[in-house]
Amino acid sequence: MIYEEGPMRLAALMVTLLMALAGTASADDRVVDDRMADDRVADDRVVGGERVSIEDHPWVVYLTDASGFQFCGGTLVTPTKVVTAAHCAVGRTTRNTRVVVGRGDKNSDEGEVVRLASRPWVHPDYVAADRGDDIAVLTLRDAVDQEPLPPAGPEDGELYAEGSRARVLGWGRTGEQAPASRYLLAATVPVMSDEDCSAAYFQYDEATMTCAGYPEGGVDTCQGDSGGPMVAGGKLIGVTSWGEGCAREGKPGVYSRVAAYHDVLREQLDS
């Protein structure tokens, strides 16, 4: 997550260019340079994305398959319920889905790996992320101790106001062509107006989506961050859903508008 088209990326490009001029660069060198740049993005906390501790964000979780491969994020909203994206949960079984709780570093063995108690609940109207209703709820077999994050409700309209700042978190890619992050990253993005979201995407639906990012791009969620949290006012206001590429100018990230699903979530969380 947290793509950053900033100075480090530019620096990596310059290095590649200089090496090419010196006759030493190959396509493979370029990949290595990109990786190094991305590591520095994660470690040096440059503008946009930064490493954050899981202890400060105990409700953010990631999903893996049975082999341990991280494919999405999620948010604990009660000790046994995780909100994620429908496109992360559709078709998944209890056998091939794990929820990793309390682990900021994918390579550590801290935290818990929790199994599902049942097949995921997927919003019944879900068809595809850019058609809306990209929301799902997972039920954990064992309750966890981590503090949950309450979902936004109808009273939280101001959290979706234009320019309101939100935090987005995840272990996804740090660039469209970059590998996923080893560490939990976070970034701050401004919520865009429904007009601007609609201008960016014909599929945008203001009733069930919100979008966020800077007009010039540069900070965003990316592949692998899906299902993870968009947070403001101490509440889960969005679920990372879709967008055209990552951090592109004029192409903000799109998030499921959690407040719009208050009643249906209530029903799921109480069941």
Give contact residues for ligand 4AZ (rule: CB under 6 A).
220-223, 225-226, 240, 242-243, 246, 253
Q: How far is the CB of 84 from ligand 4AZ (least distance, A)?
A: 11
Q: What's CA 56's distance to the chain center, in Å?
A: 17
Q: How far is the CB of 1 from ligand 4AZ (least distance, A)?
A: 8
Of 148 and 183, which CB lies nearer to ligand 4AZ in the complex structure? 183
Q: Which two tokens stand for residue 2?
A: 């947290």
Q: How far is the CB of 243 from ligand 4AZ (least distance, A)?
A: 3
Q: How far is the CB of 169 from ligand 4AZ (least distance, A)?
A: 12
Query: How many whole angstroms separate alpha carbon 141 and alpha carbon 155?
Result: 31
**Residue of 57, 156, 226, 241 marked catalytic:** 226
Of 141 and 165, which CB lies nearer to ligand 4AZ in the complex structure? 165
- Asked about 256 being catalytic, the answer comes back as no
- Asked about 108 being catalytic, the answer comes back as no
**Residue of 134, 156, 220, 225 marked catalytic:** 134
Residue 271: CB atoms within 10 Å = 9
Of 121 and 201, which CB lies nearer to ligand 4AZ in the complex structure? 201
Of 144 and 192, which CB lies nearer to ligand 4AZ in the complex structure? 192
Query: How many whole angstroms separate alpha carbon 122 and alpha carbon 99?
Result: 16
Query: How many whole angstroms separate alpha carbon 182 and alpha carbon 194?
Result: 33
Given a contact cutoff of 8 angstroms between Cβ atoms, the answer to whether 85 and 121 are in contact is no
Given a contact cutoff of 8 angstroms between Cβ atoms, the answer to whether 209 and 257 are in contact is yes
- Asked about 134 being catalytic, the answer comes back as yes
Residue in the structure block whose two tokens are 């799902």: 136
Our CA angle for 267, 100, 50, nearest 5°, is 105
Active site residues: 87, 134, 226
